[in-house]
Structure 1
Amino acid sequence: MTSLQAVVFDLGGTLVDWPDWDSDAGRRWGLSYDYLVACYPERSWPSQADYVQAMREAEKYHWQQVEAQQTSSTPAALLTAGFRRLDLSVSAEELLDALDGYARAVDGWAIVFPDAVSTLQQIRQRDLRIGLLSNTWWAAEWHNADLVVHGLAPLLDEIVYTSDLPHSKPHPSVFLEVTARLQVEPSRCVMVGDRMFDDIGGALGVGMRAVWRETKYPWPRPEQIVPSAKISALAELLPLLDGWL
């Protein structure tokens, strides 16, 4: 078996958690609305409830397209689709302020798993390169702010967000993108993620090894996808890596 040179991590559900992702959506989009209206009080806006519903529908549609076609989207494109549902034209400045309001809503929301930093530190001690590959429509700077706050940023050699790419996991191109940036052949790289289809299936499809982090979330678990290994906590990854090294 080819020896290991790099480890790539998924973000949400693997290194950090966003509690109450669905039930918190109203709060996030509500704060986006409040900030937008405060910036432009002279303009006639729809109700907060209508704004939240339109943006939430645009967000759900984005994830449906990720699942069905492995496409991606930028923050600006997603909010533009939401405004389109409201039959509302907005300026570039108004769009940016709506995005800024959402960014404020998610600032400090992520919770890092307790063994994430120590696990990455010990991986670096093994002279392995470390990458991050996340399916997201969020702007890179929103995620990067969390990485800095939680001490993860200096431990990552390369960071790839699908909001900057044409496709999302499990499309082969996104895995090949992160391995190329790491300057490592896929066969010398292992993917660690909590989603069997997106993370594990996608990684195996390009020749990477793949470690499934077991999760309480009801993500699909196709029987035909068999991970290289599975763990219930990040710290359990270290002896696996030592065996592959």
Structure 2
Amino acid sequence: MLAVFGGGLLVAAVVVGGSGGVAALTIGVASATLVAARRGAGRGARSAAALACCYLLGLWTLLAAGVALWPLPLVVAAGLYTLVSRVRALELVTDWFAWGRGGRRGWLQVAAVVPVAASGLLVWFAVLGHGADTQAAYRDLLTDRPVALVVAAGLGFALLNAAAEELVYNGIGQRSLALDLRPATAVLVTAAVFGGSHWYGFPSGWAGVVLAGAYGLLLAAVRQVSGGLLLPWLAHVAADLTIFTILAIAWFA
């Protein structure tokens, strides 16, 4: 039960972290308390709570510096967790990174996930996304820039964003939860965290949370089958490139 609570803290951290001060502080205190409760909580639950703490601390630091563009909060969270997990007394998960194996089944999953994700993004944007302006900060950064720079920025963002989200969600997060929960439950909670983080993303709102959660479920399943992060990262990069293409056409066409 504490493992689900730890996963819930992580979900709450990515959803509330930058928008509700009191709520985020409460989540941070609860996460820190769970990390400190070594005897009463499983290693996976503590690790998920520690990741929530690292995410909130990184996010608040970046907000104070005025540079909290996504996915920087996740990059900082992964770095902080890597440092904190070296404190042996906390007994946190450290063996969360693995490239995994390809295999025919894994590559077939990727081949199926990529077109499904692209189709879902196109449909969402056509039906609901035209009025959404959640990515205005990126648009302002790229306005009046050379085409080559815009393309390079889009490719760089896709590679970095996919890496950051996979490291945090399907890396640290799923590995931690899988210690205390059944694999299927760990996958579901991981997908919930991924979906929640897209409340302000692309796609956004409740539709975005549901669509991103479903996509996160597919990525988490690829992570389970392949035993590592390489294949879900590749599938994720393809989806982010689709997002960039949609946005670039909408902004600059």
Q: TM-score range by the shorter chain?
A: under 0.3
Structure having the larger proportion of residues in helix: 2
TM-score normalized by structure 1?
A: 0.27
Structure 2 length-normalised TM: 0.26
Larger fraction in strand: 1
